[in-house]
Amino acid sequence: MNAILETRGLMRSFGAVVAAKDINVRIEKGEIVGVIGSNGAGKTTFINMVTGYLPPSGGEILFDGHSILGRAPRDITRQGMSRSFQVAQLFPQLTVLENTLISLVAAEGVWPSFLRPLNTPERCAQADAMFEEFGVSHFRNAVISAVPQGARKLVDIAMALVSKPRMLLLDEPTSGVSAEEKFVLMDTVMAAVKKFGVTVLFVEHDMEIVARYVTRIIAFYSGQVIADGPPSTVLTDARVQELVIGRHFELDLLKESV
């Protein structure tokens, strides 16, 4: 197996507060990995460090075998690691198409000018193909602020995928989405990432979503990884149930509910 992302002894402290300590994680190409943990457990700190939004206090980060330590988020995106956020990072006054074209240009690293317009036929074709994958083509020319929340989430994730990254990091992809929409949304997202062969790492609080979609779970508590393995092992681990999930359940019953 070939690792697409690897961290070695990764840590982050804020004064006397240690937010992440000795995180050693290896993500293989093609995996769909869920990251779970209570608020303040260190999972978002971990995601922010590997995507360049937060510099580590120590340790190493390798993407496809090469160090990305100290790289800016845009540089990391251009290398093939893309990200969506818990709160969609969109320009509310612009259309779905305009937002997506900006995302595509940012990944290319070639900013538009009078001689290099934003909406080239090639970029528009890429955006339209991704809208088709995510079922949001009918929102193409709608202003983002007028798009329903569930569709807005899909647009945000489509923007992260439009540049065809090798790895996608999702922060709470079902946050703010209704219970009726969450599985439809995740079915759409997972179909797209599997089609494009993208490795996925996503933070999620909803254990139904985690149990249904991931091939592996990394559980955080107090800035450290306390469990790492297949869902059948991690979700039934006594420490994970006590410190992360906060309750006991049988995995078979959880799967039946979804």
* pLDDT value, residue 227: 96
- Rounded to whole angstroms, the Cα distance separating 37 from 118 reads 40
Pair 149, 176: CB distance under 8 Å: yes
Q: Which tens digit of pLDDT belongs to each residue from 59-80?
A: 999 999 999 999 998 889 889 9
pLDDT band at 87 (very low <50, low <70, confident <90, very high): low
Distance CA 193, CA 39 (A): 27
Q: Please report the pLDDT score of residue 253 as a whole number.
A: 44
Which domains are assigned to the chain? 81-164 (3.40.50.300)
Q: Which amino acid is at 3?
A: A
Pairwise CA distance, residues 174 & 186, whole Å: 8
Q: How far apart are the first and last CA of the chain?
A: 31
Residues in the chain: 258
Instruction: Give CA angle at 212 (248, 216), nearest 5°.
Output: 80
What is the overall mean pLDDT for the chain? 87
- Residue 166 CA: distances (Å) to CA of 1, 57, 187: 15, 26, 19
Task: Tell me if residue 137 falls in helix, strand or coil.
Answer: helix
150 phi and psi angles, rounded to 5 deg: -60, -45
What does the block give as tokens for 91? 């320009």
**179, 147 Cβ separation under 8 angstroms:** no
Query: Which DSSP symbol is given to 177?
Result: -
The pairing of strands 58-63 and 3-14 is: antiparallel
Q: What is the pTM of this model?
A: 0.86
CA-angle at 114, arms to 110 and 116, nearest 5°: 35
Closest CA to 61 of 167, 53, 70: 70
Asked whether residue 40 carries a pLDDT value surpassing 60, the answer given is yes
Per-residue pLDDT, 125: 93
Q: Is the pLDDT of residue 22 over 90?
A: yes
pLDDT at position 114 over 80:
no
Give the per-residue pLDDT at 102.
Answer: 87
Whether the pLDDT of residue 112 is over 80: the answer is no
